Each structure stands twice: as structure tokens, then as C-alpha cells.
């Protein structure tokens, strides 16, 4: 089986598209609510015309830059925020989802110049499962691992709140399919496996800039498998 080739292929769960650009939210950002984790005024995406950026940063509570990175990414996912807000209005959100919305609201608040403190979110994630207890302390952790833990916790929250069976909100918005194909160069036999993913570990060049298209091309590049144990 020497000379087999691994060919990854990426697609969204609907089989049509992997990436979609969300439109800015039309929700009024001035909406106020005394309960921080509910009634979130979903922020609009930054406008190049207005040169609008996130109003506040997130405070580093020891070594929590990994948490801050994940939250900053998801705070720009308008379709996720809008859908979570609809569930919050119906009082259907769990603890992690409510804490996440409260953190994003603080991040985009115009009522203070102080950075947002994601302490409530950190505590909720740490308590959401035994495997997430590693996030309870002040040690540095991996940003991708935290993002995965956050998405899984949001997924559980939303699955529990759904009245009908089916994919959760997180799965509908963020889940994709990664298919790997191993082809024997001798007999031309093909073995294909497909796995779901919420994030991809894309390789970045050690120096210089790289486009998303170029790193995806590198990630999906064919490779020869000489070791039978890799098949």
C-alpha cells in the first residue's frame, strides 16, 4: 500500500458552502437591560466606512489571553449572536450561553471605558464538565481547546433548550465536514472517512503574510503516505 495519498476535502454540513459573510445586525446597540446576561443588544459588525472597532477589550485575568481570543472571534459571528439573543428573549438559555452573551455585551458597551471582565464566563465553562476544570485556574491554556470547550458547552445549552429534535444552533452555523480520502497507487482502491468539525487547525507560515485561501490550500494538499500504520 506504499504510495497511498491522503486527499482532504472540506465542505459545510449543507454540502454547498463552507464560508458565508454575515450582514451587520440591525439591532439598536443602545438597548439597555438591567440583567446583564439577558436582553443583549447584539452588536453590529464593524463597518469599514465608519471605521468602527470593538469598543472595549477583555481584561486578562492572569493568563486568560486564550479565553479572550476565542471570545473576540465569536463576538464577530453575527448570526450566532442574533440566534442566541432570540433564545435569551424567550428565557431558553443555559448558564454558559447567558454568561457568553453578558461578556459580549460588556465587550461592546459604550457606557464605560473599562475593559470587560470575562470572569462569569470563565467560571461557567470551568463548571460545565469535569474535562473543563483545567480552565478554573490562572494557568495559560490553549485557545483552540477553549474555543472547542465553549462551543460544546453552547451546543449542550442550546440542544437542551430545543423543543424539537435536530441539529443545534451552533451546529447549523459553525459545523462542517472534513473528508479524508486514501487512495492506493497500486490497486487504486479508495478509503474515505468523514468527520465533523467546528474549527480547523490551519498551518500559518513562520514569516510574512498569508491569505485564508492559501492556508486552506496548504491544509488540503495531497500527501504521500509511506507508512502502512498511517493508512
- Domain locations in the chain? 4-13+175-230, 65-173
User: Cα(first)–Cα(last) distance of the chain, in Å?
Assistant: 8
Range name among 6-10, 104-108, 178-182 with the lowest pLDDT average: 6-10
Q: Which of 161, 48, 54, 174 has its CA nearest to residue 105?
A: 54
pLDDT in the model for residue 121: 92
pLDDT of 45: 44
Per-residue model confidence (pLDDT) at position 145:
92
Residue written as cell 487547525? 201
Q: Which 8-state DSSP code applies to residue 130?
A: G
Q: Inform me whether the pLDDT recorded for 34 exceeds 60.
A: no
pLDDT (0 to 100) of residue 123: 92
In terms of DSSP H, where are the helices of the chain? 65-74, 78-89, 95-107, 119-128, 143-161, 169-174, 212-219
Whether the per-residue pLDDT at 129 is higher than 70: the answer is yes
Mean pLDDT of the chain: 74
Structure confidence at residue 184 (pLDDT): 85
- In the chain, pLDDT over 90 holds for what percent of residues? 14
Residue 217 has pLDDT above 50, yes or no: yes
Q: Is the pLDDT of residue 146 over 90?
A: yes
Mean pLDDT (whole number) for 184-200: 87
What is the Cα Rg of the chain in Å? 20
CB count in 10 Å sphere of residue 229: 5
Higher pLDDT, 200 or 42: 200
In this predicted structure, the answer to whether residue 21 has a pLDDT above a threshold of 50 is no
pTM of the model: 0.67
- Mean pLDDT within 128-134: 88
- Output 215 or 54, whichever has higher pLDDT: 215
Amino acid at each position: 500500500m506504499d504510495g497511498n495519498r491522503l486527499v482532504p476535502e472540506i465542505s459545510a454540513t449543507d454540502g454547498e458552502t463552507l464560508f458565508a459573510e454575515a450582514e451587520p445586525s440591525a439591532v439598536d446597540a443602545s438597548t439597555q437591560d438591567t440583567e446583564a446576561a439577558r436582553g443583549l443588544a447584539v452588536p453590529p459588525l464593524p463597518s469599514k466606512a465608519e471605521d468602527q472597532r470593538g469598543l472595549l477589550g477583555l481584561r486578562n485575568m492572569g493568563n486568560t489571553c486564550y479565553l479572550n481570543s476565542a471570545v473576540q472571534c465569536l463576538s464577530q459571528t453575527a448570526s450566532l449572536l442574533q440566534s442566541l439573543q432570540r433564545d435569551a428573549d424567550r428565557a431558553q438559555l443555559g448558564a454558559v450561553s447567558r454568561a457568553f452573551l453578558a461578556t459580549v455585551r460588556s465587550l461592546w458597551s459604550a457606557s464605560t471605558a473599562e475593559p470587560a471582565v470575562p470572569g462569569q464566563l470563565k467560571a461557567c465553562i470551568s463548571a460545565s464538565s469535569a474535562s473543563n476544570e483545567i480552565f478554573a485556574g490562572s494557568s495559560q491554556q490553549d485557545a483552540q481547546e477553549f474555543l472547542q470547550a465553549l462551543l460544546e458547552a453552547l451546543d449542550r445549552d442550546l440542544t437542551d433548550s430545543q423543543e424539537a429534535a435536530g441539529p443545534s444552533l451552533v451546529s447549523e452555523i459553525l459545523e462542517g465536514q472534513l473528508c479524508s480520502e486514501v487512495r492506493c497507487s497500486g490497486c487504486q482502491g479508495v478509503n474515505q472517512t468523514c468527520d465533523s468539525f467546528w474549527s480547523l487547525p490551519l498551518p500559518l507560515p513562520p514569516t510574512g503574510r498569508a491569505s485564508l485561501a492559501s492556508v486552506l490550500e496548504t491544509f488540503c494538499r495531497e500527501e504521500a503516505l509511506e507508512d502502512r500504520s498511517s493508512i
